[in-house]
Amino acid sequence: MSLYESIPIKVLPTDKFKTTTITFKFMAPLDVETMTARSLLSKMLVRATKKYPTDKAFNQHLSYLYGAYLNSHVSKFKDHHVITMSLEITNERFLQDSLPLLDEGIQLLKEVILNPLVNEGAFDETFLQQEKRLLQNKLIAIEDNKTQLSYLHLLKNMFGDHPYSYPAVGQLEHIEEITPEVLYDTYRQMIEQDSCAVYVVGHVDETATKNKLQAAFELKPFTYERDNSLQSVNPQQTINEVIETADIDQAKLNMGFRFPTQYGESDYPALVVFNMMFGGDPSSVLFNEVREKKSLAYSIHSQIDGKNGFLFVLSGVSSDAFQDAKNTIIEAFEQFKQGDFTEEKMALAKKIILSHRKELKDRPKQMIELTHNKILVDKPEPEASFVERIQAVTKEDIQQLCQKAQLDTIYIMTKAVDQGE
């Protein structure tokens, strides 16, 4: 059956925390036309409901629930757009009185998700205007932040008009057209068509919690169409190099690599270990070579989107040094292709990865993300198997994977050369 046994409710019982976290994830295929509206919707839903139609009423109820914390955000998950809504509430076992906080929390989420503040097929105009302004400010801040902007330009040059190249929070030019009625249509679509998964972390009874949630929400089995259209890798392809100028002192040098693996595949752990050695940590090759030894970069790191098999190198370098920095990064990658790295470095990378992983299990939200990732694999594995697979990665595994990888795009944002100089 897999697709992580068609979710829709997964309870992770643990006595590690004094709170219970309940998270809903609504997933729809990535679509440029709907991302901005979904982003606004995620904020509107946790803003007001029919029962709590004002900020004051809503906040008073959260205080009554011992300072329960409700939040929402949007993100990209492989080829899908996700609205995540999370409620963190004190576990009733730690209370002196008999308020059934888990039941109260489920009722609050039911109110938020199924009974939003809507009149005659339209969301509240005043709240929507406020949320639009906030989103506008957020997107303008991204445009003013050259680090974030240069990363988006890298994605744009690497993926063209594919919705993957846009930020999950949406686009400035789409904000204006979203009316209270359009937002209500977006909401209906989310409720009727999105795949929905629910996760609970806390000291709770698994069966009872599932029954309560199912009774409140009548959730459908989970469906998710996997799309691998982003996944083509061609090591022979010419590198797409783009240089743009902007009013900046420090140049941005970003690179996008494609790897022929992804989360859940047998050689995926090799990508995780490689990334940590390459630029994922201050002990990495890029940090040491480009930043420390050669002083070519103010900042440099690599990060992976493991669900799609992409690796991005993001750096801030001196405007007169970006060519040197670029060549040094490419040389460092070539060394991995040649297997020119030590067992000691690899052992250190594995140690850091496993230590990070251990930390994730001490945070409810990260536990939920790790569990949610399992929908991408045909056979979800126990945690011990992740540890074993990281430990089992060899030099040859990393070398072979790097030989099959493709440096797709190099994007450089630098200052314009003054003709009078």
Task: Please tell me the predicted confidence (pLDDT) of residue 222.
Answer: 80
Percentage of the chain modeled with pLDDT above 70: 96
pLDDT digits (tens, 9 = 90+) for 16-39: 999 999 999 999 999 999 999 999
pLDDT at 110 over 90: yes
Q: How confident is the model at residue 97 (pLDDT cuts 50, 70, 90)?
A: confident
pLDDT at 1 over 50: no
Mean pLDDT of the chain: 92
pLDDT at 65 over 90: yes
Of 76-80, 133-137, 168-172, 383-387, the one with minimum mean pLDDT is: 383-387
In this predicted model, which residue has the larger pLDDT, 62 or 222?
A: 62
According to the 3-state scheme, what is the secondary structure of the chain? CCHHHHCCEEEEECCCCCEEEEEEEEEEECCHHHHHHHHHHHHHHCCCECCCCCHHHHHHHHHHCCCCEEEEEEEEECCEEEEEEEEEEECHHHCCCCCCHHHHHHHHHHHHHHCECEECCEECHHHHHHHHHHHHHHHHHHHHCHHHHHHHHHHHHHHCCCHHHCCCCCCHHHHCCCCHHHHHHHHHHHHHHCEEEEEEEECCCHHHHHHHHHHHHCCCCCCCCCCCCCCCCCCCCCCEEEEEEECCCEEEEEEEEECCCCCCCCCHHHHHHHHHHHCCCCCCHHHHHHHHHCCCEEEEEEEEECCCCEEEEEEEEECCCHHHHHHHHHHHHHHHHCCCCCHHHHHHHHHHHHHHHHHHCCCHHHHHHHHHHHHHCCCCCCHHHHHHHHHCCCHHHHHHHHHCCEEEEEEEEEECCCCCC
In this predicted model, which residue has the larger pLDDT, 287 or 225?
A: 287
Hey, do 3-217 and 240-415 end up sharing a CATH topology, with the first three levels equal? yes
pLDDT digits (tens, 9 = 90+) for 167-195: 999 999 999 999 999 999 999 999 999 99
Q: Is 15 exposed, middle or buried, given 0-12, 13-18 or 19+ CB atoms closer than 10 A?
A: exposed
Considering only CA atoms, which of 207, 237, 227, 253 is closest in space to residue 78?
Answer: 227
Q: What is the pTM of this model?
A: 0.93
Rounded to an integer, the average pLDDT of 236-262 is 93
Q: How confident is the model at residue 418 (pLDDT cuts 50, 70, 90)?
A: low
- The hierarchical CATH code for the domain 3-217 is 3.30.830.10
pLDDT at 312 over 90: yes
Q: What are the tokens at 215? A: 């009774």
Phi, psi for residue 28 in degrees, rounded to 5: -135, 155
Per-domain residue ranges of the chain: 3-217, 240-415
Q: How confident is the model at residue 228 (pLDDT cuts 50, 70, 90)?
A: low
Task: Please tell me the predicted confidence (pLDDT) of residue 157.
Answer: 97
pLDDT at 420 over 50: no
Considering only CA atoms, which of 105, 136, 111, 30 is closest in space to residue 74?
Answer: 30
Rounded to an integer, the average pLDDT of 68-97 is 92
Q: How confident is the model at residue 347 (pLDDT cuts 50, 70, 90)?
A: very high
Task: Please tell me the predicted confidence (pLDDT) of residue 376.
Answer: 85
Q: Which fold has domain 240-415?
A: Cytochrome Bc1 Complex; Chain A, domain 1 (3.30.830)
